[in-house]
Structure 1
Amino acid sequence: MIIKEFCAENLTDLPKVDSAAIKRVELCDNLTVGGTTPSYGVIKEASTYLHEKGVSLAVMIRPRGGNFVYNDLELRAMEEDILKAIELEADALVLGALTEDNHIDTDAIEQLLPSTQGLPLVFHMAFDQIPLEEQKAALDELVDLGFARILLHGSANDQPIAANVEHIKDLIDYANKRIEIMIGGGVTADNYQELCDQTSATAVHGTKMI
Structure 2
Amino acid sequence: MIIIFKEVAVENFTNIPTAVLKGANRIELNDNLAVGGTTPSLGVLQESTKYLQEKSIPVVEMIRPRGGNFVYNDLEIKMMEADLFQAQKLGVDGVAFGALTADGDLDEDAMEQLIAASAGMQIVFHMAFDALAEDNKKSAIDWLVDHDVDRILTHGGPLTTSIDQTVDKIKGYVDYAAGRITILPGGGVNYQNCDTIAEKLGVKEVHGTKVIDGVNN
In structure 1, runs of 5+ residues without a counterpart are none
Give the aligned partner of residue 113 of structure 2: 111
Q: For 1:191 and 1:27, locate their aligned partners in 2 and report how far apart those are by CA, in whole Å.
A: 22
Q: Superposition RMSD on alpha carbons, in Å? A: 1.3
Deviates more, 1:20-29 or 1:116-125: 20-29
In structure 2, runs of 5+ residues without a counterpart are 213-217
Q: For 1:191 and 1:46, locate their aligned partners in 2 and report how far apart those are by CA, in whole Å.
A: 28
Give the aligned partner of residue 209 of structure 2: 207
Q: TM-score, normalised by structure 2?
A: 0.93
Q: How does 1:35-50 map to 2 (within 5 A)?
A: 35-50=37-52
Give the aligned partner of residue 54 of structure 2: 52
SS at match of 1:97: coil
The offset of 1:157, in angstroms, is 4.6
Give the aligned partner of residue 215 of structure 2: none
Query: Contact conserved, 1:149 with 1:182, CA < 8 A, in 2?
Result: yes
SS at match of 1:17: helix
Q: Deviations over 1:60-102 (max 9, x none)?
A: 0011111101111111111100011111111001000000011
Give the aligned partner of residue 197 of structure 1: 199
Identity %: 47
Q: Deviations over 1:95-130 (max 9, x none)?
A: 000000111111101122222123110000000011
Give the aligned partner of residue 177 of structure 2: 175
Q: How does 1:1-210 map to 2 (within 5 A)?
A: 1-18=3-20, 21-210=23-212
The one-letter code of the counterpart of 1:28 is N
Q: For 2:105 and 2:50, locate their aligned partners in 1 and report how far apart those are by CA, in whole Å.
A: 36
SS at match of 1:141: helix
Figure out how many residues of one structure are paired with residues of the other and give that number.
210
The offset of 1:19, in angstroms, is 6.0
The offset of 1:20, in angstroms, is 7.0
Deviates more, 1:105-114 or 1:66-75: 105-114
Q: Deviations over 1:37-72 (max 9, x none)?
A: 001110111111111112100000011111101111
Q: For 2:195 and 2:135, locate their aligned partners in 1 and report how far apart those are by CA, in whole Å.
A: 27
